[in-house]
A and B are shown apart, each in its own frame.
Chain A
Amino acid sequence: MKIFYFCFAGSHSSVIAANIHLRRLPEGQIPTVAEIVTVNEFDRRSLKDAGIPYFLGKDDNGNDVYVIGLGKDREIGLQTIYHLLEQLAVPTVEWKFFDTLSEINWLTKLGGFLSGRLGLVSIGRVLAAKGIQGCYFRLTDVVKKAKEWSNE
């Protein structure tokens, strides 16, 4: 099975969720800002990379875990993906997309904007990480749902 976590640019909340899923970040406690900013893929991509899926690894059950950015209009992104998979005759029951963007707070959005759009990486990255701390358990809930789905 293939599990995709998606957010705006595939750079913040989806990356954190995927890392929780892959046990590279803890599920039961909030990591420090230093731990979050040192996640390899955190705050590394911008909107121009949206639509490009990134493979982060295989989970304990052998599922492929990806992150992807779908920009502002996630509906058109998801429609494009599902239409294409259907046209390529790929069994879509094995592909599932989990929204992490709707779980984040304004601080993560502000940090992402400062870093990704304005190039103020040093301050933007830290603010985004602080924002992630505030919504961390909402992201772990998304991961739990993804794991429940993959175990069904």
Chain B
Amino acid sequence: MKVVYHCFGGAHASPTAAAIHLGILAIDRLPSLRDFKKVPYFDQITNLEHGRLIKVGDDHLNNEIFILGRRNSAQIAINIIKEFSKINGVNPDDYLFVDCVQLYNPLMITGGFSSRAMGLVTIGRPLVTIGTLLSFTSLVKKVKKTLDFLEKRSK
């Protein structure tokens, strides 16, 4: 299966969820701020890569793990990916989309905007990293739910 963790810019919440899924970040404890340096694509994605499925790795069940930045058009991007895959002979049911948006986290929003949209990386990155840390438990819950579903499906 292709598991797609998606959020507004695909730069923070979804790479963190993908890293938890792949065991790059431990699922059972809070990471340190330094641990986020190990997260592939964390605070790296730019506007031009929005809409692109970026593969981060394969999990222990051979599912492919992707991240996606889709701005505020989650449902439209999902419909496009499924329907255009279908037109081109790819099974749309092979995708599992997991929404990682952290609506109530101002640090992620302002830090992410400063770093990605305004290019103020020095200010934005520490803010968004702290923000992601605050949302870590919520992201772990989403990943655990996803892993449970995938485990059951593989049996």
| Complex contact A84–B80 (CB within 8 A) | yes
A14 to B: closest C-beta gap in Å = 14
User: Beta-carbon contacts of B83-94 to A below 8 Å, as 1s and 0s?
Assistant: 111011010000
Q: Looking at the complex, which of B47-55, B98-106, B127-135, B142-150 is the stretch in contact with chain A? A: B47-55
Q: In the complex, how many residues of chain B place their beta carbon closer than 8 angstroms to a beta carbon of chain A?
A: 22
**Shortest distance between the CB of B148 and any CB in chain A (Å):** 28
Complex contacts, A85 vs chain B, CB 8 Å: 84, 88
Q: Which residues of A are found within 8 Å of B88, using beta-carbon distances? A: 85, 88, 90
Q: Which of B16-24, B26-34, B67-75, B107-115 contacts A (4 or more CB under 8 A)?
A: B67-75
Q: A residues engaging B (CB < 8 A)?
A: 48-53, 69-73, 76-77, 79-85, 87-88, 90
Known pairs A72-B73, A90-B88; list 13 more (Cβ under 8 Å). Answer: A50-B76, A71-B73, A73-B71, A73-B76, A76-B50, A77-B80, A80-B52, A80-B77, A81-B51, A83-B52, A85-B84, A87-B53, A88-B85
What is the bound-complex CA distance between A88 and B83, given in angstroms?
13
Name the distance in Å between A120's Cβ and chain B's nearest Cβ: 23
Judged by a CB distance under 8 angstroms, whether B138 is at the interface is no
Q: How far is the CA of A49 from the CA of B52 in the complex (A)?
A: 21
B70 touches A76 (CB 8 A): yes
Query: Looking at the complex, which one of B50, B76, B81 makes contact with A70 (CB distance below 8 Å)?
Result: B76
* Minimum distance in angstroms from B73 CB to a CB of chain A: 5
B45 at interface by CB-CB < 8 Å: no
Complex CA distance for A84 and B77, rounded to whole angstroms: 10
Residues of B within 8 A of A84 (CB): 51, 53, 80-81, 84-85
Subset of 26 A-B contacts with CB under 8 Å = A49-B79, A51-B75, A51-B79, A53-B84, A53-B87, A70-B76, A71-B73, A73-B73, A76-B73, A77-B51, A77-B76, A79-B50, A79-B51, A80-B50, A81-B51, A81-B84, A83-B53, A84-B53, A84-B81, A85-B88, A87-B52, A87-B53, A88-B84, A88-B85, A88-B90, A90-B88
Looking at chain B's contact residues, is the secondary structure mostly helix, strand, loop, or mixed?
A: helix
- Chain B interfacial positions (CB closer than 8 Å to A): 48, 50-53, 70-73, 75-81, 83-85, 87-88, 90
Alpha-carbon gap, A114 to B140, bound state (A): 42
List B contacts of A49 (CB < 8 A): 79
Q: Would A76 and B79 count as touching, CB distance under 8 A? A: no
A86 to B53, CA, bound (A): 11
Contact in complex: B84, A71 (CB < 8 Å):
no
Query: Which residues from chain B contact A90 at a C-beta distance below 8 Å?
Result: 88
Residues on the B chain within 8 Å of A72, using CB: 73
- The answer on a CB contact under 8 Å between B70 and A80 is yes
Judge whether A50 and B83 touch: CB under 8 Å: no
Residues of B within 8 A of A48 (CB): 75
Cβ of B72: which chain A residues have Cβ within 8 Å of it?
73
Of residues B70, B73, B81, which shows the largest number of chain A Cβ atoms within 10 Å of its Cβ? B73
